[in-house]
Structure 1
């Protein structure tokens, strides 16, 4: 890398992606805390934003005998525990695109954009290196954070005049942030005795806060000697705060402040209703089901960008104009459509259900709030010892069949039938180079922690 006049000053300046990550984490967890305090009810393992709640991270989106949540399929409400509650359940995940040294390369590029070079040849070398990196970064480079938090009480089984039934009230709070790269050519320039590089390459940041309140009802429609057929429906009220920002990399020194200041200015709050149906065949040794979500295709709008730029001034006008420039690659006025998704689920178990083999599969892909495709397949095996003092164990594998196509090994345990921890570890890696030493790190990790009670 060419020598730069301002190299001595770089140690005291936080790296670009460090500032982005710190701001996103602090803002995201603050929003989650606020949302958790303002919502009452329950939360389910809904794949709307690509996150599975509680033990479903390992078990899959299955109406599972070992899971505290049975509202994955509304038809399962009558066969869940008579009463269960989650005192606390939180989870988070991080994901990187398949670009080695993405963070370091972006930091280097920003340093070069801010600095001066000794000769035009040095500037041209930096230009060529940056252009080579940006070709891949613009196509595959991104960083994504997801998190959720809730306090559920679900389900409630009851004897109704027309037969056995069950209801569930489910509230879920999810936050997501995605940083992508809008690449543009890097050019070298000479201005008198000053040499440098310049580019219109920009950061494209999308954020989403989603609240879901779901009412579900399940009913036994047929009863046999050793099996039963259950049917259920659900209605979900969605409330969203969706926002996005385009920030030129050339002027991204205060990117953290920009995200904080402009998130509210660009966000749009919207609401809609989604309808779902579920069917479940349950017997002494197995159960199989099908779930349809968002069958009426609800829609939620983002705040518009790149509009009325002439009415703005300063940095805000520059960001607006830059968004217009990339209008052929991003939607300046965007609506998130929650397309219908069908999921299959199944579980096989022994007589006392101490051992369970389960799987779930989404038959089609849908987009999460920040635009990434989600279509999950999961398979797991789990055991619950008869002695309550012994931990419950579960092991599994999950894969996104669309979009990132990432794969994970998953594992989790539950202590004293109450405290649970589940982890998903990505099998695909990215390489980080430091002092000529290359180390591989997983592209994605997820974890869930929960404190549950069942009666």
Structure 2
């Protein structure tokens, strides 16, 4: 039988699916570097809080018209450390050895027990924001389009033990012992937001903003039974791509949701509250798991729908009067989920220098962000804006060779984009 490449399959999934995350589940563009409180000097500011559409001291001309485009990706590896070496040394040499079926059973059981729920998750996307702020509108209007794709592969332990059996000169196993769960989601989002100063008191103001979002989601899941993969390789050479072909096609579902935000802005500080995905939109999931009786055990584990959970976030900033120097922080008040349905509850802190006074003066930003639940990863993030170009990266590690060689737990976010003010 040909090699069973569980880990290679996961890596292939991550490499081929990194194309596009809703703003509620993770930062977009320079907000990777600024943190989830964002910064008034970027047109990506309203993505963090619709109240940020309102005019503020950073809009030095008394108005602002901006347009941008941004591409980014996020990849996380969880609970797979050493899996590739274990497979190469303890499983692969026994796959064609009928005489050592008992040892293969033991090794497979150990592998499945150790790496149950081990996964690779990717969320990436392209966002195009348009921002218009003028006194004539008594505030600001933002229009955003985002194409988002999330994909993940996860090892699932079944209820039964692995039982190898001879099939001619090859080995086969019983169904239901383990599976590789593969999920794919493609989300198209159109968002229209408006923010304004509702109350003013001297140089301070209460700003309010609302964003309406129209969402279209394609959601597919395929739980590939380990038996199916082994059986297919006993008579031929099935690649993992054979099981993910077509996962980017099928029927989609549409829904509406809304975000709301409020800020209290003073000369040198701001505090805010944001609510996202307030209607908790729900979308159907297409079950692509094999319906053949000998492989259908894991079909029942596929959920019938995916719900974007509401999220509520508090944020605060302390800044210089001209809004160029900023210290900021944010904290999610509730547990939510990302596009791959991973649990999230983010916090972030950051410091930045940003100005719109001259294109040749770079904006710089750095900070930390962490997920309190789920992967519980903490990222160090840095970013730079030079002229119209934004570059941001956040990582949980600098041991990239360890990630590649040993599949050590790690996460990385990277973003590149442009924004123009007119």
**1:1-22 Cα deviation digits (max 9, x unpaired):** xxxxx7xx86xxx955445544
Note the residue ranges of structure 2 that are not aligned, 5 or more in a row: 230-237
TM-score of the pair, normalised by structure 2 = 0.85
Check whether the contact 2:67–2:420 (CA below 8 A) recurs between aligned residues. yes
Query: Which residue number corresponds to residue 153 of structure 2?
Result: 179
Query: Which residue number corresponds to residue 443 of structure 1?
Result: 410
Specify the SS of the correspondent of 2:45.
coil
Aligned residue among 206, 217, 228 for 2:205: 228
1:402 has 2:373 as partner: yes
Query: Which residue number corresponds to residue 414 of structure 1?
Result: 385
Aligned residue among 116, 132, 139 for 1:165: 139
Quote the offset at 1:109 in angstroms. Answer: 7.5
Query: Which residue number corresponds to residue 73 of structure 1?
Result: 49
Check whether the contact 1:356–1:382 (CA below 8 A) recurs between aligned residues. yes
Check whether the contact 2:18–2:73 (CA below 8 A) recurs between aligned residues. no
Check whether the contact 1:391–1:414 (CA below 8 A) recurs between aligned residues. yes
Quote the offset at 1:105 in angstroms. Answer: 4.1
Check whether the contact 2:14–2:152 (CA below 8 A) recurs between aligned residues. no
More moved, 168-177 vs 377-386: 377-386
Quote the offset at 1:63 in angstroms. Answer: 4.5
Aligned residue among 233, 248, 268 for 1:285: 268
Change over 3 Å in CA distance of 1:165–1:387 after alignment to 2? closer
Note the residue ranges of structure 1 that are not aligned, 5 or more in a row: 1-5, 33-44, 307-315
TM-score of the pair, normalised by structure 1 = 0.79
Quote the offset at 1:342 in angstroms. Answer: 0.7
Change over 3 Å in CA distance of 1:327–1:431 after alignment to 2? farther
Query: Which residue number corresponds to residue 258 of structure 1?
Result: 243
**1:161-186 Cα deviation digits (max 9, x unpaired):** xxx22221122211010101122422
Mapped to 2, the partners of 1:100 and 1:24 lie a distance apart of: 16
Note the aligned Cα RMSD (angstroms): 3.0
Quote the offset at 1:293 in angstroms. Answer: 1.3
1:41-440 pair list within 5 angstroms? 46-48=22-24, 50-71=25-46, 72-79=48-55, 81=59, 82-86=64-68, 88-105=69-86, 111=92, 115-117=95-97, 119=99, 122-138=100-116, 140-160=117-137, 164-184=138-158, 185-190=161-166, 194=169, 196=171, 198-200=173-175, 201-252=178-229, 253-264=238-249, 267-305=250-288, 316-318=290-292, 322-323=295-296, 325-326=297-298, 330-331=301-302, 333-384=303-354, 388-416=359-387, 418-427=388-397
Quote the offset at 1:92 in angstroms. Answer: 0.6
Mapped to 1, the partners of 2:87 and 2:27 lie a distance apart of: 31
Quote the offset at 1:401 in angstroms. Answer: 1.2
Mapped to 2, the partners of 1:431 and 1:28 lie a distance apart of: 20
1:454 has 2:421 as partner: yes
Check whether the contact 1:429–1:443 (CA below 8 A) recurs between aligned residues. no
**1:185-239 Cα deviation digits (max 9, x unpaired):** 22233568x5746253211101100111111111211112111111122211111
Change over 3 Å in CA distance of 1:449–1:442 after alignment to 2? farther
Check whether the contact 1:394–1:413 (CA below 8 A) recurs between aligned residues. yes
Quote the offset at 1:259 in angstroms. Answer: 0.8
Aligned residue pairs total 402
Mapped to 1, the partners of 2:214 and 2:139 lie a distance apart of: 22
**1:134-177 Cα deviation digits (max 9, x unpaired):** 11212x301111110122212433424xxx22221122211010
Change over 3 Å in CA distance of 1:58–1:383 after alignment to 2? same
Change over 3 Å in CA distance of 1:433–1:96 after alignment to 2? closer
Change over 3 Å in CA distance of 1:354–1:89 after alignment to 2? same
Check whether the contact 1:70–1:154 (CA below 8 A) recurs between aligned residues. no
**1:279-308 Cα deviation digits (max 9, x unpaired):** 1111211111101112222211111356xx
Greater RCO (CA < 8 Å, at least 6 residues apart)? 2
Mapped to 1, the partners of 2:199 and 2:392 lie a distance apart of: 36
